[in-house]
Amino acid sequence: MKDWNYENEQWTKLPTYLKHLPLFTRHIDSFSVFMRFLWSIFLKNVAFKFYIRLEVKGTPFKEIYKTQPKLIIISNHASHLDAVSIAASIPRRYWLNLYIAAAKDYFFSNGLFTFFSQHCLGAIPIDRKDRRGEAINLILKLLSELPRMWLIIFPEGTRSKDGKIQEFKRGVSIFSERTQTPLLFTYLEGNMELWPKGQPIPLPGKLVLHVGPVHPPGPIQQVYDAYKAWVVTINPNAFAAPKEEAQDDSEQV
């Protein structure tokens, strides 16, 4: 394995809390590779096979991988299962190019979570109070410079409390437009029932991941409208009714 270049400009400019990440080029250390392999065995062959029955519908990831070396994978977000269930649906051999944008205040809140996020998830910590844009710049740099990268991100920004898909934050469009990275639409069906916000552990059951179209980079409203148009063909009730309509309905009642 090639020696790590500690004088690498990318490395020396990293903020302290990011310097532990096995990122940049292909110099992922062997310990992280081993831990991620063990985690993939547990996730794909145990947890999402016997406890949660994960079904994937749509275009197989192995076909998408042939034509899309860089992708931003977006999905609805209502459960802690969401990121790991998408990872579990992706072939193990692609995992070293797979990253997850994760809230720093949760996924890096203590030593155990940090170890798990670093070595198993390939998580990129997003500081939701960051005013300097360090995490944004890091993701832009990675999407620009890595030859292959699939990034899982939840454009709602936080988990939905009622399972209804919320408006998208504009960050996903910033990443996509500035780096000309296409977006892969996915939709998780059943995540809210298995592990809603506030529940300590997930319930056993069935989870379906729908893999949709690849969408070109575009403004956030355009992305949201296209995502909504696709999701309602699967679940017409996935989105909350517009406030105006809800008010009209209440007046009629």
pLDDT score at 241: 78
The pTM of this model reads: 0.84
Edge-first strand order for the sheet with 123-126 is 52-58, 205-215, 183-189, 70-74, 149-153, 98-103, 123-126
Chain-centre distance for alpha carbon 40: 16
Strands 205-215 and 183-189 come out as antiparallel
The reported pLDDT for the residue numbered 33 is 82
pLDDT tens digit sequence for 84-140: 999 999 999 998 889 888 887 778 788 888 888 877 887 887 777 766 676 788 788
- pLDDT bucket at 19, cuts 50 / 70 / 90: low
> What mean pLDDT comes out for the span 58-82?
95
* Residue 77 amino acid letter: H
**What average pLDDT does the segment 210-223 reach?**
97
- pLDDT single digits (tens) 153-175: 999 988 999 999 999 999 999 99
| Mean pLDDT taken over the chain | 84
SS3 content of the chain, % helix, strand, coil (to 5): 45, 20, 35
